[in-house]
Amino acid sequence: MRLSQGRLIAIGLVILALLGFVFLRGPTPHIAIKAETLTSLGPFNLTNTIMTSWIVVITMVVMVYVGTRRRDLVPRGVQNFFEATLEAFYSLVVSVAGEKNGRRFFPVVATIFFFVLVSNWLSLFPVFNVIGLVEEKEHGFVMEQADVGPLPVGWVALSSPSKLSGDTIDEDDPNAEHDAKNARKDGKLVGQLIPLFRGPNTDLNTPLALAIASAIAVESWGIASLGIGYGRKFFNLGSLLRGLTRLNPGMVGRGIIDAFVGMLELVSETVRLISFTFRLFGNMFAGEVVILMFTFLTPLIVTIVFYGLELFVGIIQAFIFATLTLVFGMMAVAHGEAHAAEENEERAGAMAPEAQS
């Protein structure tokens, strides 16, 4: 009796899952929220996320160079893809902000989008969280090693039928010291792996830095639209002071409300930084943990599904971060334009009685 195509696929998937479980499992992943320090240069700690951020920047520079080195009148190949991507994103920004503001917002918004996107997608390469330096101890992973320049780089060997969870030495094992010495005699390293590469956005400092950069850009756009008077959005004490000097209770009441609204605006700006930071950090760190755990449990089939999910999440998070920066920029500019229109109306109202007299 011939098996149906669906059953053959199901059997093949089960076989792949079993092969991955036996031959491709890594050790139990070590999950740390804080980025690991690779080396220290005086007061500066070089972490694996900083290293990856540099790689992301270099990757983006190379992509721009490759996409623009031959600028033909009729684009094709890489140039065509590069220009089409930028034009689509520019059209989106202009459709939201208009031509004038779109030209001003686009460099910042596009830089944030592509930096976050490349960071998220680059972090899905298999070398992340797998190879790195080794903090040697008498217990931990038993790792293979190779000298890369002056650095002994280690990596964790995959599983085998005899060792389904990789080769480890437990801390409470009475023979831990003896086993560690034997492993070192065989040219292996024993200890804790410090990954050379880790996703930048899984380090809380990177999303926070991006959120601060976004906030600085938004406030600078608001100041450019209204000048120093933009600060009244947060410290609107004019009506309150005028009411106190004129002993006008109605104006004092309105001034108190304006001052309270300004305080709420200031709190809102601070909360925006926190929400920006933890939205990106939480999604990317959780995705990394899920992939690490399923790589340990079922390296094939199921893990591939989560890689596909992380590709989608990576572009969505980049788009959300960039779009919110754009929207908040529009709100800041609109606030400035509204205040300018209000001031013009007040001046016109004050000049009307003088003209009549």
pTM of the full predicted structure?
Answer: 0.79
Assess if residue 245 is contained within a domain: yes
Helices assigned H by DSSP within the chain:
5-23, 48-68, 77-122, 176-185, 205-226, 238-246, 249-297, 302-356
Max CA pair span of the chain: 106
Range of the domain at 236: 201-348
Contact 226, 336 (CB under 8 A): yes
Integer Cα distance of 290 and 157 in angstroms = 20
Tokens for 51? Answer: 């290293």
Assess if residue 179 is contained within a domain: no
Assess if residue 138 is contained within a domain: no
Tokens for 192? Answer: 């804790």
In whole angstroms, how large is the CA radius of gyration of the chain?
29
Assess if residue 318 is contained within a domain: yes
Quote the number of domains for the chain: 1
DSSP code string of 173-238: -TTHHHHHHHHHHTT-EEEEEEES---GGGSTHHHHHHHHHHHHHHHHHHHHHHGGGGGGGT---H
Residue 137 belongs to what H/E stretch? strand 131-148
Assess if residue 137 is contained within a domain: no
Contact 221, 332 (CB under 8 A): yes
Residue 39 belongs to what H/E stretch? strand 37-41
Q: What is the pLDDT of residue 68?
A: 80
Tokens for 354? Answer: 């003088």
Assess if residue 20 is contained within a domain: no
Q: What angle in degrees, to the nearest 10, is found between the helix axes of 48-68 and 205-226?
A: 60
Tokens for 229? Answer: 């008077």
Which amino acid, residue 257? I
Assess if residue 69 is contained within a domain: no
Cβ atoms within 10 Å of 78's Cβ, excluding its own: 14
Assess if residue 304 is contained within a domain: yes
Per-residue pLDDT of the chain (357 residues; tens, 9 = 90+): 456 777 887 787 777 777 776 667 666 667 788 888 888 888 888 999 999 999 999 999 998 888 887 777 777 777 888 888 889 999 999 998 888 889 999 999 999 999 999 999 998 887 887 777 877 777 777 777 777 666 667 777 666 665 655 567 777 778 878 888 888 887 787 887 788 889 999 999 999 999 999 999 988 888 887 777 666 777 776 666 667 676 767 776 777 777 777 777 788 888 888 998 999 999 999 988 888 887 777 777 778 888 888 999 999 999 999 999 999 888 888 765 555 555 555 444 444 444 444
